Each structure stands twice: as C-alpha cells, then as structure tokens.
Amino acid sequence: MVKQTIQIFARVKPPVRKHQQGIYSIDQDEKLIPSLEIIVPRDLADGFVNNKRESYKFKFQGIFDQDANQEIIFEHIAKPVAESFLAGYNGTIFAYGQTGSGKTFTITGGAERYSDRGIIPRTLSYIFEQLQKDSSKIYTTHISYLEIYNECGHDLLDPRHEASSLEDLPKVTILEDPDQNIHLKNLSLHQATTEEEALNLLFLGDTNRMIAETPMNQASTRSHCIFTVHLSSKEPGSATVRHAKLHLVDLAGSERVAKTGVGGLLLTEAKYINLSLHYLEQVIIALSEKHRSHIPYRNSMMTSVLRDSLGGNCMTTMIATLSLEKRNLDESISTCRFAQRVALIKNEAVLNEEIDPRLVIKHLQKEIQELKDELAMVTGEPRTEALTEAELLQLEKLITSFLEDQDPESRLEVGADMRKIHHCFHHLKKLLNDKKILGNNTVSSESKDQDCQEPLKEEEYRKLQDILKQRDNEINILVNMLKKEKKKVQEALYLPAKGRHEFRHSQSPPFPLGNPEGGQRMLLSSAPSQAQDFSTLGYRSSLLHKKTGMREEMSLGRQEAFEIFKRDHADSVTIDDNKQILKQRFSEAKALGESINEARSKIGHLKEEIAQRHIQQVALGISENMAVPPTPDQQEEKLRSQLEEEKRRYKTMFTRLKALKVEIEHLQLLMDKAKVKLQKEFEVWWAEEATNLQVNSPAVNSLDHKKPFLQTSDTQSELSQLLSNKSDVNARKILPSPCRSPHSQKQSSISTPLEDSIPERPVLSIPLTGDSQTDSDILAFIKARQSILQKKCKCTSFGGSFRAAGHQHLWGAHSEVEGSREFPECC
Ligand code: ADP
Ligand code: MG
C-alpha cells in the first residue's frame, strides 16, 4: 500500500498580451518547497478583495512558469503517475483552473503543433513503449472517454459518428452496487493494442466532443472530460490478474460568479458557476477536515466517478492552471487556494489483484486432462466412459477363476482402473447374494465341510469387507471429484454468458472479475461494429468522410462559398503549415525508408562477405594442412566493425522512422480535426446566415438579380435588387469568421489597395434559393469577386464597400457569365 497526499503542481500560462501580465514571483529554492507569490496591485486590492491583502503565497510540489514546454510537464508530472499505473496502481491527473488558463492544452494538447501534444498522447506513447519492452507479462489495454455536462454523462467513444449534439451521444448513468462500488452503465470500453489505436480513440472522442458542442451549451468550458486507460496484466500461467485505471481529467472552467466590486463578496464566498465543481469543493473540504465521517461524493456525477481519485485507492495529481493576467488574479488566487486544500487529502493506493475463477477452472481442466493422459499412458489404454462387452466378459472370467482358485495367495488383478474395480465388487456382491440364497437350501448337507472351512472364510470375508470399505471410500471420493469437475465445466460454460449479461447492466469494472478476455468480449458486445475499425487508418478517413460527406451533396455555389470560407478562415494557415510539415515528414520518412533498406542490404552483404571469408580461410587451412586461425584476421576485423557500424546506423534510422511515424500520425489527426472543425463552423455559419437573411428578405426579395454591382451606402439597395429574384428566397452571406465590427472599419483612404481589405474579412450577401440555377449565379458571382481581387482594383468606394458591411452585409460584384463587367463609375 502506498500512502500519499494528492500531489499539486501549478502551471502558469503565457499571457495573451505581454503588458497585461500580472505580477507574481516563483521561489524555486531547491531545498524548500517551491512557492508562488501573487501580488495584487493596490487598485485591484481596493476593489474586490476587501481585506486588502496585497500578496498571496502558495506552496506547490512543483511550479512551471510560462516557458515550461509540454515535454517538461509530461516528464515531471505525468511520467511518475504513468509509472505507478504500469506497476498496477490507479492514477489520476486532473487539471483545474478557469476557462482559458490552459487545462485542455495541458491535458490533451494544442491543435496546431506536434510538439504541443499534451499529457494524454504523451502518456499513451510512454505506456505502449513500456508495455512493448516488458515481455514477462501479458497486458490488455482498454480506453474509455466520458464527458459530463450538466450532471449527465455521455460516451464520447460512440463509433456511429452521428452525434450532432451531446444528446445524440449514448447517455452514461451511474449505478451503485451494495458494496458501494460505482458502475458506469453504457460507457463503452475499447481495446487498444497499439499507441496508434489509442490515439485514434482519443481523436474520435475529441471530434465527437467538438461536433456535439454548440455555442449554446459551451460544452468545452462547462463540461468535465475523463479519458481513462484501463490496464490489466498477468504473468503467463498465473491466475492472478492485476488491474489499474488511469484517469486523465480536463475539468470544467472553475470561474465563479462575478464579484460585486467594492465591499462585495469575499473571494472565499464567491460561488461556482459550475455546480459540480461546487460539489467537488465540498468533497475536498470534507476530506481535508479530520473526523468527518460522511463525504458527499454522491452529490454529483463527477465526484462519484472520481471517488477513488479523491481520498481513495489512487495516486492523484492536480495541475492548477493559472492565467496570471491582471484581470484574472482573483480567479488565480481561488485556484491556488483550492489546490492548497487538495494537497491535504491523503490517498491510499493498493495493488488491485484478484484471482480469476475462469483461469482457475482452466488450470484445473488442464490438470485433469494431464492426469487422464498420464493414466492412459500407465495403463496403456485410452479411457472411455463405460467398459466394453469384451472387457466385462474378461472381468467375469477373472472373477470366476479367482473364486475358484484355492490358493490363499491368489489375487484378483484388474489393473488400476476404477471402472473395473467397481464392476468386480458389484459382481462379487451379486454372486454372494445368489450364494446366500442357494446356501440356505443346502446348509444341512454341507455342514461338515463348512465347519472345517469356516475360519478361513470368515477371515476372507473380513478381509473382503475391509477392502470393500476402503473401495467404498475411494469411490465416494472419486464420485465427489467427478461431481466437482462437472460443476466446474458447467460453470465455465455458463460464466461467459453470465458475464455478458452482467455487462449489459453495468459496465464497470472494466474487466469483470479481472478477466482480460472477458473484458474484451464485453467490449465487443457493447460496440460490435467498431472492433477492427480502430486499428486502421481507414477508420479515420471514414469518419472524415462522414463528417465532410455533406460537401459532396453541396451545390456548386455552396462549395465555392466553402472554399472561400476555408481560405479566409484563421485555421487555414495552421492547416497549410501542417500540410507542409507533413509533406516534409513524409519525404523524410521516405528517404529514411530508402536508407534503411540500403543499410539492411549492406548488412546482408557484409555478413555474406564475412561468411565467405570464413569459408575461404577454412579451405585455405585444409589445402595447406593448417588449423583455421582462432582469431579473425585484419580484413575480417574491418568487415566486422563495418557491420557493427552499419547496424548502429540502421538502429538509429529505425528509431527515427518510428518517431516520425508517430509524428505523422499525430499531424494527420490534428489536420483531420481541424478540417472537421472548419466544416462544422461553415455549416453553422451558413445556417445562421440563411436564417438572418430570411429575416431581412423583404429588402432583398423585391430586387432584380440580373444586374450585379458594388455596394456603397447609396447603392446597397440596388445591389440587393440585383442579387435576388424570388419571393421565397433564403438569402445567405459569405462571411468568413471572425467578422470585424463595422465600427472599427472606417472608409479606407484612396490609396488603400483592395487587397488590403481582404484580411478585413469582406462580407458578401447572396440569395440562397436552393436551386441550382441560382447557385450557378452565385458561382458566377464569386468568380467575379475573385477576378476583381486579382485585378487589385484600387477603388475607394469599392474598398469602402467591404468595410461598410455593417447591417446588410452586402458586397457587390459583376457577372462574367453574362459577358458584361459592370463596375461603379469610379472604376
Ligand atoms: P482551458 O481548457 O483552460 O479553457 P485552453 O487549454 O483551451 O484553456 O487554453 C486557451 C488558449 O491558450 C489555447 O489557445 C491554448 O492553445 C493556449 N495555451 C494554454 N496554455 C498554453 C501554454 N502553456 N503555452 C502556450 N499556449 C497555451
Ligand atoms: Mg478547455
């Protein structure tokens, strides 16, 4: 058992703007416990902290300043937890802090760079690397990913890829058994045999989470996400299985209700926005107070799920994420105070070992079979259930001759076969009974003979009776054994079915009674369709296909709009960057692959050369009648050192290639995710625009769409006319997000090139009719826009029209389709 308080670490996020940085200092004296001092400027202290303290000091096991990268965080915080997890202890790492302080960045990682990958991908990588190295045990790894929003659990690993809101994801509920163990009903567990499969699952969960999120529920800031790795291990041949769970938790934003300014609430009195965080605090308070018998775990789903992590059988680590900008100082102080409380909680982690009854049965069955085989070998004949006719006849003959034999030393030899022994006794009994009946009739005539034979018979009977007793005992023992064996076989047949049944009702613990195979079967029964899916990259592309499948059904105009949206979207830079990096990595991997092949064939050649040299030397030795020199000659030495060198090179390149593979895989995941996000944002924006313009349609509806033109404040309505020709139109505008506020967009000067206005996110409004004719108009319209952009027209009113896009969001163009180019007069 390992007794340990919850370890607390602090991580300070780099400020968005340097000048907003708050004042703090970190004391990292090696001999002392590191401490963080937050200095609250006087003006702020006067404001909402009414006790007017200016400086707050907090102690942590480790404090990581802004420059600490993800690798350092993993090495110092996550690696020790992962190590004890591999040794069989439960582990939890949870990030706590206000929204935007870097929880997701720390736990999952940034979405842009490979180097930004967070604790989950790095821990998965580390775990699988270690498992691969250890061949002394058999390991089974499963993954689950749970999101809790508004006290409702959702399974993020739903493989159907159809969730468009959180409610579409399978609902996970909590069940508690009489022993107060928590079971999560409906949370699917997926086996992951490689790092790649585990990463795919993480990606699936994150994508489901992103897609299910709407601006309304702000799921990412108000929900808790628990990514869990379940590990079971056993030594070959042993029936003892070890289980461990590792929870990696991204909690909801810890921000509290706004303070009321001067004389307002004390920091400690402020209330959480998120109710379950309030309950988490209550649990922490209860645990940190001595002699508290009741801990209110059951108040919320999150505290129930993390029950073991808080004051139970788990090694837990908390990362307080801090955004130490001036406006966030109060929240940061709250986070630190929370951490200080958490640090008082003592956990007791134990190795979770159990005997697997199914493995025990398997062992016994194997042993019985071995004994049977041994027996068959000794007797020289294979065993069947019943004796054959011939055997029975043979036995009866033996009994008769035994009974007839007058030699007192004679024995009835039937061999070490209990069936035959039984049969002999039965037969003897029968004979005896028959003889008794007969004997009664002939008793007088044979009385003389009887007298002289009596002592012998009596002795014989006693002997036989003793043997009978002994045999009876043996038979009883054997019958019992047989019954037990039968029962076990029945149980073995019955248990898997029972296991399946139970799983349907409660999905936790992940490996029911510690059987890795059982766990797997359970998993398959709960999610039959995705079993092999995750092991292939095909899975990912299929997901993406599903998510972006709409594109194929898009009209040309909408596709074009999507292309523009994509191009102008902030993430497109990241996607392009990653594409470039990916290309580089691919070509590096290709080159490495070629070098590896070269090295391999070189190694082959060198080995061959050495072998040839050996043969030559042996041949030389034979021809010159000399012994082969015991040590290799200089030439061979050289070849050998070349071989070693080549092997080293091969190994280095191979390791690099492996790392590259992981990096490529990760980059692909990042890009796929970014693409899905883009698609989703486009759809949301498109729908919004359609609705908005429907509302504004009266102005648009009555207009003539044939005559395109540019929008100025004067020409706006004309443009609207030009762009619409139907009464029931749904209008839409192309507005790559984010859109600047019109107030900040004054008319540009005469010299402003049109090009300059592009980053200002030009706004375009076009009618949405849903029919292909209008869509082709839109296409023409967009093409015209592009050709204008290419011309780099320096037109004040034109440039202004981009910027004046405030209310109606209209932006004109001309139609090339109609062969005429109509520009405002100034052009
Ligand atoms: P939270 O999950 O706490 O709401 P995020 O992890 O989403 O916050 O972080 C908010 C933003 O800050 C993200 O854009 C993220 O990339 C960035 N960020 C957070 N922590 C760091 C860090 N240590 N270094 C660089 N960027 C960071
Ligand atoms: Mg977050």
What is the Cα–Cα distance from 424 to 614, expressed in whole angstroms? 72
What number is the average pLDDT over the span 467-489?
71
Answer for the pair 789, 798: CB distance below 8 angstroms, yes or no: no
68 Cα nearest atom in ligand 1: 23
Indicate the burial class of 3 (C-beta count within 10 angstroms; 0-12, 13-18, 19 or more). Answer: exposed
Smallest CA separation from ligand 1 atom 16, residue = 110
List helix spans (H) across 226-379.
275-288, 301-305, 329-342, 357-379
Measured CA to CA, the distance from residue 756 to residue 744 in angstroms comes to 15
Distance 251 CA to ligand 2 centre (A): 8
Ligand positioned closest to the Cα atom of 105: 1
pLDDT at 544 over 60: no
Q: Cα(464) to centroid of ligand 1, in Å? A: 90
Which position has the token pair 């699988």? Answer: 128
Share of the chain above pLDDT 90, in %: 25
406-410, 445-449, 688-692: segment of lowest average pLDDT:
445-449
> Which residue among 9, 11, 12, 13 has the greatest number of ligand 1 atoms within 8 angstroms of its CB, and so is best to mutate?
13
- Is the pLDDT at 68 greater than 90? The verdict is yes
For atom 11 of ligand 1, the residue with the nearest CA is: 100
pLDDT of residue 65 exceeding 50: yes
Taking CA 411 as the corner, what is the angle to CA 406 and CA 417, rounded to the nearest 5 degrees? 150
Q: Which ligand is nearest to the CA of 116?
A: 1
**227 vs 566: which has the higher pLDDT:** 227
H or E segment at 590?
Answer: helix 571-623
Other Cβ atoms within 10 Å of 759 Cβ, number: 9
Nearest-10 Cα torsion for 378, 381, 384, 388:
-130
Closest to 196 measured CA to CA, from 530, 516, 524, 534: 534
Paired sense of beta strands 91-96 and 315-322, if any: parallel
Task: State the ligand closest to the CA atom of 64.
Answer: 1
Q: What is the mean pLDDT of residues 460-481?
A: 74
Question: Looking at the predicted structure, is the pLDDT value of residue 803 above 60?
Answer: no
- Gap from CA of 105 to ligand 2 centroid (Å): 7
Ligand nearest to the CA of 102: 1
The two beta strands, 23-27 and 152-155, are unpaired
Q: Which two tokens stand for residue 503?
A: 């799983």
Strands annotated E in 135-273: 138-149, 152-155, 171-176, 182-185, 190-191, 224-234, 240-250
Q: Give mean pLDDT, residues 654-682.
A: 87
Separation of CA 208 and ligand 2 centre (Å)? 15
**For residues 154-161, average pLDDT:** 84
| Cβ(9)–Cβ(77) below 8 Å | yes
Q: Is 103 annotated as a binding residue?
A: yes
Q: Report CA(771)–ligand 2 centroid distance (Å).
A: 41
In the prediction, which pLDDT does 485 show?
Answer: 67
Q: Whose CA is nearest to atom 10 of ligand 1?
A: 100
Residue 97 assigned ligand-binding role? yes
**What are the pLDDT digits (tens) for 182-209?**
899 999 999 999 999 999 999 999 988 8
Note the pLDDT of residue 629. Answer: 58
State which ligand 1 atom lies nearest to the alpha carbon of 12.
Answer: 23
Q: Which atom of ligand 1 is nearest to the CA of 97?
A: 3
Give the ligand 1 atom nearest the CA of 107: 6
pLDDT-above-70 percentage for the chain:
65
Nearest atom, ligand 1, residue 66 CA:
23
DSSP for 270-304, please give it.
Answer: PPBSSHHHHHHHHHHHHHHSTT-----GGGSHHHH
SS3 159: coil
**CB 153, CB 184: distance < 8 Å:** yes
User: What pLDDT shows up at residue 118?
Assistant: 96
d(CA 766, CA 711) in angstroms, rounded, equals 12
Query: What distance in angstroms lies between residue 301's CA and the mean position of ligand 2's atoms?
Result: 19
Six-digit token string for 51: 């006790």
Q: Hey, whose CA ends up nearest to atom 5 of ligand 1? A: 102
Nearest to 328 by CA among 8, 7, 10, 16: 16
For atom 23 of ligand 1, the residue with the nearest CA is: 13
Q: How many angstroms does the Cα of residue 283 sit away from the middle of ligand 1?
A: 27
Whose alpha carbon is nearest atom 9 of ligand 1?
Answer: 102
- What is the number of the ligand 1 atom nearest to the C-alpha of 101? 3
Distance between Cα 374 and ligand 1 center (Å): 68
> Any idea how long the chain is?
827
Q: 504 — phi, psi (to 5°)?
A: -60, -30
Report whether 232 contacts 516 (CB < 8 A): yes
| Residue bearing the bigger pLDDT, 215 or 255 | 255
Question: What is the Cα–Cα distance from 579 to 380, expressed in whole angstroms?
Answer: 72
Q: Which residues surround ligand 1 with Cβ inside 6 Å?
A: 13-14, 97, 99-105, 110, 221, 253, 321
Tokens of 162: 């159809």
- Lookup: tokens for 256: 């509290």
Q: Closest residue (by CA) to atom 20 of ligand 1? A: 102
Pocket test for ligand 1, best of 96, 105, 115 (most atoms within 8 A of CB): 105
Which tens digit of pLDDT belongs to each residue from 79-108?
A: 999 999 999 999 999 999 999 999 999 999
Nearest to 725 by CA among 684, 674, 781, 675: 781
What residue owns the CA closest to ligand 1's atom 19? 102
Q: Which ligand is nearest to the CA of 210?
A: 2
The torsion angles phi and psi of 446, rounded to 5 degrees, stand at -105, 15
pLDDT of residue 97: 95
Does pTM top 0.85 for this prediction? no
H helices present in 506-570, as ranges:
516-526, 537-548, 550-553, 556-568
Looking from the CA of residue 111, the nearest atom of ligand 1 is 16
- Given a cut of 80, whether residue 628 has pLDDT beyond it is no
- Neighbouring residues of 23: CB distance < 8 A, sequence distance ≥ 6: 38, 39, 41
pLDDT at position 260 is: 42
Q: Confirm whether residue 104 is marked as ligand binding.
A: yes
Cα(104) to ligand 1 centroid in Å equals 7
CA of 250 to the centre of ligand 2 (A): 7
Closest by alpha carbon to 113, among 583, 657, 667, 658? Answer: 667
**Max Cα separation, the chain?**
152
State the CATH architecture for 2-41+53-357.
3-Layer(aba) Sandwich (3.40)
pLDDT reported for residue 766: 41
Condensed to tens digits (0 to 9), the pLDDT of residues 343-364 reads: 999 888 899 888 877 878 887 8
The number of the ligand 1 atom at minimal distance from the alpha carbon of 99 is 4
Q: How far is the CA of 332 from the centre of ligand 1 (A)?
A: 15
What does the pLDDT look like over 4-55, one tens digit per residue? 899 999 999 998 776 656 688 898 877 788 999 998 876 655 555 455 567 8
Q: Give per-residue pLDDT as tens, 709-745.
A: 333 334 344 334 433 333 333 333 333 343 333 443 4
Say whether 101 counts as a known binding-site residue: yes
Ligand that comes closest to the CA of residue 95? 1
Locate the ligand 1 atom nearest the alpha carbon of residue 13 and give its number: 23
Atom of ligand 1 nearest to the CA of 16: 12
Rounded Cα gap, residues 670 and 659, in angstroms: 16
pLDDT in tens, 736-786: 343 333 443 433 333 333 333 333 333 344 444 444 444 455 555 555 455
Q: Is there a contact between 313 and 1 (Cβ–Cβ < 8 Å)?
A: no
Q: 762: CA distance to ligand 1 center in Å?
A: 29
**332 carries a ligand binding annotation:** no
d(CA 540, CA 537) in angstroms, rounded, equals 5
Å from CA of 250 to ligand 1 middle:
12
**Residues 737, 517 contacting (CB under 8 angstroms):** no
DSSP string of 62-77?
EEE-TT--HHHHIIII
CB 792 within 8 A of CB 764: no
Question: How far, in Å, CA of 319 to CA of 321, rounded?
Answer: 6
Give the helix, strand, coil percentages of the chain, each rounded to 5: 55, 15, 30
Comparing C-alpha atoms, which of 825, 826, 798 is closest to residue 813?
798
**Atom 17 in ligand 1: residue holding the nearest Cα:** 102
Render pLDDT for 259-296 as a digit per residue (tens, 0 to 9).
444 334 444 445 667 788 989 989 988 988 877 888 89
Position 796 pLDDT exceeds 80: no
CA 368 to chain centre: 41
- Greatest mean pLDDT among 422-431, 484-493, 504-513, 789-798 lies in 422-431
Q: Residue 745: phi, psi to the nearest 5?
A: -115, 80
* Ligand with smallest separation from the Cα of 255: 1
> 110-114, 154-158, 489-493, 649-653: which range is least confident on average?
489-493
**Mean pLDDT, the chain, whole residue set:** 73
Sequence ranges of the domains in the chain: 2-41+53-357, 569-620+634-688
Rg of the chain (C-alpha set) = 40
Residues with CB under 5 A from ligand 2 (ion): 103-104
| Residue-wise burial string across 245-262, b where 16 or more C-beta atoms lie within 10 A, e elsewhere | bbbbbbbbbbbbeebeee
